Each structure stands twice: as C-alpha cells, then as structure tokens.
C-alpha cells in the first residue's frame, strides 16, 4: 500500500473513503484495504474456522452464516493452524510407521536434530542470531531454567523486578525461584504497579525504579507485551537502564514474539523466553523458545544439564563426559517431540515468506483501523450516558502496543461476549468488563475487523433488549 506511506491510520482511512466516495465506516473501506494488502495471501496458509464449527455459535446464525469464516480475533491466545502442519505431521507419522527408530537419522527431517533445523527461522522472528536461540520445553520451564542461571541472589543484590500484574505463571516462577534460593518473596520480589487510576506502566516509572533500586536488583524481568493491557514495553530502554545498574535483564516475549519487531540481540537483552502457540501458531502446548545473548556464551552455564546439551557430534558416544554446548544450546535437556516440531516448522515457514517488519507495518494500520471504529462508535457520549461506551486500556501510542487492543466496557461483558460468540466471533473475555481483541496481521483482514465491529453493535443491542 505504497500510496499511503507516511500517513497515520486515520489519514489513510479518510483518504480511502474519500477516493471511494463512501463513509469511512463503510465495509467498502475494509474491502479496499484488503484488496491492496500486500500480505493478504498469507491468510490462505491457515485454516480459519467456519462459523458452523464453532461450538458456541447459535443454530439460527449457523443456518445463515455457517459456511462463512469466523471472526478469529484471539490469535493472542492460540494462533490458527498452518495448513502445512498436517502434511508434516503425516510425513513423520509415516516415517515412524515405516522406519521406526531410523526416523531419528533419515529423511528430510531427522528427529534427532529436527528442532535445530528450524531455529534459524525462529531467531529471525525475535531478532536474534541462530546460536542465541533454542527451541525446547514449554515457556514456564524455560523461564525457570534461565532464572536458575541468571538469578544468583546475594545479601546485597537479591531482588527481581517485575510487573505487579505479570502473567500468573511468571509470577509463580519468580516467587518460587526466590524461595528456592532461601530468600523471602515479600522482600525480594519487587512488584511495580501502575499509578493510581492508570492501567499501564509509564516507561519513566520503570526506568526510575531501576535507577533508584537497581543496586539491590539482581534481575529485571518484564514481559515484552503485557498480556492483559496489550502494552508493549520499551525493551531497549529497560535493558539499558538495568545494565547501567549492574542487573541482568530478561523478557518474557510470549505476547511479543511474532507480534512486534524484536531485536533481542541488538538491544543486548541478557535472556528471553516465549511460547510458540500464540502469535507463532504452533498449536496448543507447542515447543517454546529460549534466548541467551551470545555475550554470555562462555560464562553463563546451565544449572541443570541433560544429554541434549552435549555437543551433537559426540552426543551419542555415551561416554558420560559432558561436552557442553556453549550458550543457550547447553541448556537443552531432552530430545524434542518431533510431532511438535512439525506444526512449528509449518508456521515458521510462513513467517519466512514475509518479515516482521512487513507484518508490523500492516499491523499498525489494522489495529489503527480497529481503534478508529471503536472510538467512532463507542466514545463516551455525555448527552447519552446510558449508551454503552468503551475505554481502550491499551496505550493509544502505536509504539507502545502490538496488535491487541484491550477494550473496557461500561456494561458487564459476560452477556455481550455470549452474544458475540453465538454470532461467530472468537475473542477473549476477562470479567467483569474487558474484551481482548487481537487482529493478527499474519491472517486477519480489514474485513474481519469491520465485521467484528458490526457484530459488536448487534451483540450490544441484543443484550440491552433482554
């Protein structure tokens, strides 16, 4: 969409509607943007569920709209299935059936090093060098393995700084690591909250607390994108501030990887972990990623070791003398499930057809479009206080968010959510009043966003009439 280079999303929408001679809220605008979307072909690489197949959709809706694709706006929770996933899985099921144990070393995807073959694609997505990334385990397991090596508390420097509303698993992982080292989470877990009346953290407040408390902080551990608010943290600035005070700085990139441009290597981040089933579409429980910057490759060692951390060339000599791989590779413990490598490979190959830069460019407009429509229809109207309105929790600055918008409604959300589901919307709800809507640039269209906002209108009308 070169003709819109340099314009804000609102300017782009106004220009498109003017050229089409229609209202900026018209479905024609969405259709036009889809037609000129350079990445529209990527959607065809995924299975988009049909409305008829979604368990909560209603019989009357199924009858009329069942064959249509649903409005899938929940890729922040579980990404769609890449079509190639099944092909690759079938290849390995066949291999297992026909060759048994030989599958470890033969074929196009020898199981014994299958994950190593796709790590360069993963590294590209998170802005790392291939040797800095390992695909292994689940996210929380990797977070623990990394903290075991990076969190070495002393009497003077024993704190871990994190958000007070971190994802529960991260909170528990940090809490238990502190206990494991014989410290007290009450004293060593430094939880940073938003200012009263605010929902997202100010970058300056994060940097200030690092500056003020840094001497007692061992590890600064933030998310890249906050799962609830959708806030994208300034990872470069946080890393720099942490390093200035002698802290290690790590990020949980579960909601950032595949969503926003990451430069883990260039920013000098010490360690990171992420799951692959959200924006990276590897399927529920898919293999997670872990990163250690290569500046640490000879100094940071794994606390726990297994045979998969042994140099591959001599791993199978089984002489029980560890030849540990440098960096993150030495943290590998077990052989990886080939049946999970398959869908992840399928997804990473789609990422390879584009770039995070191109995805992000589309994402800014796609999410800007959602924001525009929500503001247009649901800004609080003082003249009509009864009319439901929406406050967008996610920062309005595009540099401080990924694709997700968290919408806080003036009415209880449960019934609205049910009405959305019966009409073919898949999204995430957090009671009492929040919907998290993630238009994913990889496969969502502008029409998806437009249909969603129309459907939201119908859902709100239906609930108000009950």
Binding residues for pyridoxal 5'-phosphate: 139-140, 167-170, 223, 252, 255, 277, 307, 335
Q: Which stretch binds ligand PLP (CB under 6 A): 49-57, 165-173, 289-297, 304-312?
A: 165-173
Query: For residue 340, is the peptide bond before it cis, meaning its omega torsion is within 30 degrees of 0?
Result: no
Query: Please, what is the minimum distance in Å from the beta carbon of residue 138 to ligand PLP?
Result: 4
Query: Please, what is the minimum distance in Å from the beta carbon of residue 173 to ligand PLP?
Result: 8
Three-state secondary-structure class, residue 402: coil
Q: Which is nearer to ligand PLP, 32 or 233 (CB)?
A: 233
CA 159 to chain centre: 26
Q: What is the dihedral of CA 33, 417, 200, 226, to 10 degrees?
A: -80
Q: Does residue 170 bind ligand PLP (CB under 6 A)?
A: yes
Token pair for 261? 């441009």
CA dist 262 and 126 (Å) reads 5
Binding residue for ligand PLP, selected from 49, 66, 138, 326, defined by CB under 6 A:
138
CA dist 282 and 343 (Å) reads 5
Site size toward ligand PLP (CB under 6 A) is 12
Q: Does residue 45 bind ligand PLP (CB under 6 A)?
A: no
Query: Please, what is the minimum distance in Å from the beta carbon of residue 267 to ligand PLP?
Result: 18
Query: Please, what is the minimum distance in Å from the beta carbon of residue 330 to ligand PLP?
Result: 21
Token pair for 288? 């997670």
Site for ligand PLP in 195-224 (CB under 6 A): 223
Given a contact cutoff of 8 angstroms between Cβ atoms, the answer to whether 272 and 251 are in contact is yes
Backbone angles phi, psi at 177, to 5 degrees: -65, -40
CA dist 144 and 67 (Å) reads 44
Q: CB-based burial of residue 333 (10 Å sphere; 0-12 exposed, 13-18 middle, 19+ buried)?
A: middle
Q: Which stretch binds ligand PLP (CB under 6 A): 80-88, 136-144, 177-185, 355-363?
A: 136-144
Q: Which is nearer to ligand PLP, 230 or 395 (CB)?
A: 230
Q: Does residue 132 bind ligand PLP (CB under 6 A)?
A: no
Compute the Cα dihedral for 16, 22, 27, 31 and give only its sign: negative
Q: CB-based burial of residue 3 (10 Å sphere; 0-12 exposed, 13-18 middle, 19+ buried)?
A: exposed
Binding residue for ligand PLP, selected from 32, 88, 111, 167, defined by CB under 6 A:
167
Binding residue for ligand PLP, selected from 70, 139, 260, 374, defined by CB under 6 A:
139
Residues in a beta bridge with 223 = 252
Q: Which stretch binds ligand PLP (CB under 6 A): 39-47, 92-100, 247-255, 374-382?
A: 247-255
Compute the Cα dihedral for 52, 55, 61, 62 and give only its sign: positive
SS3 content of the chain, % helix, strand, coil (to 5): 45, 15, 40
Q: Which stretch binds ligand PLP (CB under 6 A): 97-105, 133-141, 208-216, 256-264?
A: 133-141
Query: Please, what is the minimum distance in Å from the beta carbon of residue 438 to ligand PLP?
Result: 12
Q: Does residue 306 bind ligand PLP (CB under 6 A)?
A: no
Site for ligand PLP in 249-288 (CB under 6 A): 252, 254-255, 275
Residues in a beta bridge with 56 = none
Q: Which stretch binds ligand PLP (CB under 6 A): 67-75, 162-170, 175-183, 452-460?
A: 162-170
Q: Which is nearer to ligand PLP, 283 or 330 (CB)?
A: 283
Residues that bind ligand PLP (CB under 6 A): 138-140, 167, 169-170, 223, 227, 252, 254-255, 275
């Amino acid at each position: 969409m070169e003709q819109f280079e340099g314009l804000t999303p609102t300017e782009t929408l106004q220009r498109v509607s003017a050229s089409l001679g229609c209202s900026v809220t018209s479905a024609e605008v969405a259709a036009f943007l889809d037609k000129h979307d350079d990445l529209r072909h990527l959607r065809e690489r995924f299975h988009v569920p049909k409305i008829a197949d979604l368990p909560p959709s209603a019989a009357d809706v199924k009858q009329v709209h069942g064959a249509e694709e649903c409005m899938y706006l929940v890729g922040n929770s579980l990404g769609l299935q890449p079509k190639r996933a099944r092909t690759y899985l079938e290849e390995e099921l066949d291999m297992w059936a026909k060759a048994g144990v030989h599958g470890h070393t033969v074929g196009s995807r020898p199981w014994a090093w299958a994950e190593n073959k796709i790590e360069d694609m993963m590294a590209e997505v998170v802005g790392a060098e291939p040797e800095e990334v390992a695909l292994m385990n689940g996210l929380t397991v990797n977070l623990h393995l990394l903290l075991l090596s990076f969190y070495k508390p002393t009497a003077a420097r024993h704190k871990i700084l994190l958000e007070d509303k971190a994802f529960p698993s991260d909170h528990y992982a940090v809490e238990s690591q502190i206990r494991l080292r014989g410290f007290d989470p009450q004293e060593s877990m430094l939880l940073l909250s938003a200012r009263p009346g605010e929902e997202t953290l100010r970058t300056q407040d994060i940097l200030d607390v690092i500056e003020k408390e840094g001497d007692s902080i061992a590890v600064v551990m933030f998310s890249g994108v906050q799962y609830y608010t959708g806030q994208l943290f300034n990872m470069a600035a946080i890393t720099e501030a942490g390093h200035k005070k002698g802290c290690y700085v790590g990020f949980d990139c579960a909601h950032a990887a595949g969503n926003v441009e990451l430069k883990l290597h260039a920013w000098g981040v010490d360690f990171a972990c992420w799951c692959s089933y959200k924006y990276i579409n590897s399927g529920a429980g898919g293999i997670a990623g872990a990163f250690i910057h290569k500046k640490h490759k000879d100094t940071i060692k794994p606390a726990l070791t297994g045979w998969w951390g042994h140099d591959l060339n001599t791993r199978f000599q089984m002489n029980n003398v560890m030849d540990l791989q440098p960096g993150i590779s030495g943290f590998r413990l077990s052989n990886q499930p080939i049946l999970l490598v398959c869908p992840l490979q399928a997804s990473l190959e789609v990422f390879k057809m584009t770039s995070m830069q191109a995805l992000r460019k589309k994402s800014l407009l796609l999410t800007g479009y959602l924001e525009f429509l929500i503001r247009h229809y649901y800004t609080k109207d003082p003249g009509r206080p009864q009319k439901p309105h929406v406050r967008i929790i996610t920062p309005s600055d595009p540099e401080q968010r990924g694709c997700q918008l968290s919408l806080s409604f003036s009415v209880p959300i449960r019934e609205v959510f049910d009405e959305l589901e019966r009409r073919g919307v898949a999204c995430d709800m957090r009671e009492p009043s929040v919907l998290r809507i993630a238009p994913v640039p990889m496969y969502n269209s502008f029409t998806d966003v437009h249909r969603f906002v129309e459907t939201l209108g119908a859902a709100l009308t239906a609930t108000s009439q009950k």
